[in-house]
Every structure is written in structure tokens, then in C-alpha cells.
């Protein structure tokens, strides 16, 4: 089945130690998104790629970066994780419309 895959599902890192989260899709969608969702809060859009064009949200900290080497893969890099970055990170894809397909998420713990 076509889907959005996130690896790992659970990630533990240390304060200040860089971490990379991975997302892949078999839907061949041209838009890929990264969201951060903290406990009991709504998902918050960090950035998205429309094809190869990177679009950063104005309030996304510089600590968060992203790479999209090809259509299928997108990575979220957190350069120096702080305790406040502990959250669920959700990857989603779309064809450029409102119907986004979400992965299961990666839960990040920062020690």
C-alpha cells in the first residue's frame, strides 16, 4: 500500500546532540511537510517542500533544518536539541491540495 513512513518511531537524544528524523513516501506526492506536535497541542507546521522549493514558517527556530534529496525522502535535522524540542514530529505529503497524508510520527525524547 502507498504510504508515508517515518523512522525511527521513537528517538532518544541528549541535550545538544544533533539528531535526524527520516520520512519517506511511496505516494509520489510533490509536497512534503514537517510538523511538531507537543503533548495536548495541535500540530504546528515547521516547514514544507513544494517539489524542490523549501518553505520555512516564520516562527520555526533556526535550530530546525530540512533536506529533501529526492521526491521520496525528506529529513528533519535538529542541530542542537533542547528540552523544549521533545515532541512528536509528524511528516505529511500531499499533491498540492488540502488532503494531506500523515505518517505515524517520531516521538523525540531529549535527556
Q: Which residues bind another protein (CB under 8 A)?
A: 4, 31, 35, 42-45, 48, 50, 55, 88, 90, 92, 94, 96-105, 107
Distance in Å, CB of 15 to another protein, minimum? 24
In angstroms, the CA 31 to CA 52 distance is: 9
Judged by beta carbon, residue 43 or residue 81, the one nearer another protein is 43
Residue carrying the nine cell digits 505515524: 104
Residues 6+ apart with CB under 8 A from 42: none
Judged by beta carbon, residue 14 or residue 41, the one nearer another protein is 41
Judged by beta carbon, residue 79 or residue 95, the one nearer another protein is 95
Task: List beta partners, residue 38.
Answer: none
* Beta-carbon-side half-sphere exposure of residue 76 (alpha carbons within 13 Å): 33
Distance in Å, CB of 44 to another protein, minimum? 7
Amino acid at each position: 500500500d502507498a504510504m508515508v513512513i517515518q523512522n525511527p518511531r521513537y528517538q532518544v537524544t541528549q541535550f545538544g546532540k544533533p539528531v535526524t528524523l527520516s520520512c519517506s513516501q511511496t505516494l509520489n506526492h510533490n509536497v512534503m511537510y514537517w510538523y511538531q506536535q507537543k503533548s495536548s497541542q495541535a500540530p504546528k507546521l515547521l516547514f514544507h517542500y513544494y517539489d524542490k522549493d523549501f518553505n520555512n514558517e516564520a516562527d520555526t527556530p533556526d535550530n530546525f533544518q530540512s533536506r529533501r534529496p529526492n521526491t521520496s525522502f525528506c529529513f528533519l535535522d535538529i542541530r542542537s536539541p533542547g528540552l523544549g524540542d521533545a515532541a512528536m514530529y509528524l511528516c505529511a505529503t500531499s499533491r498540492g491540495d488540502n488532503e494531506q497524508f500523515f505518517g505515524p510520527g517520531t516521538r523525540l525524547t531529549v535527556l
